Amino acid sequence: MKSTNFSSQTRVFTGNVDTEEDDIILSEDPIYSTDPIMNVNLKEFLCNFLSDLSHQIYYNEFSRYHTSLELTTLQRIGILPQNNE
């Protein structure tokens, strides 16, 4: 029977995470290094996804329903122009 190391999973339950160095996922975890989804730059992926979405034909209709938080986020990442109030 193969032995499994759960050190990275149990670390989640041992205390609060305050820094990126203490992130829940440890880079030396063999599952982390071989899983393609764990190597995606999520910030870049989401920015590209939202940018592509904003160029779709029905986006103007959809965008009327954004909350103020969503609008602020889209402005910060450059999808929508900044409000100069």
pLDDT value for 20? 58
Look at residue 12 and tell me if it is in a domain.
no
pLDDT value for 57? 92
Whole-number percent of the chain with pLDDT over 90: 28
Distance separating alpha carbons of residues 35 and 22, to the nearest angstrom: 20
Domain span including residue 36: 19-85
Number of domains in the chain: 1
pLDDT value for 37? 81
Task: Name the CA radius of gyration of the chain, rounded.
Answer: 19
Look at residue 24 and tell me if it is in a domain.
yes
Look at residue 4 and tell me if it is in a domain.
no
Which 3 state secondary structure label does DSSP give 3? coil
Look at residue 25 and tell me if it is in a domain.
yes
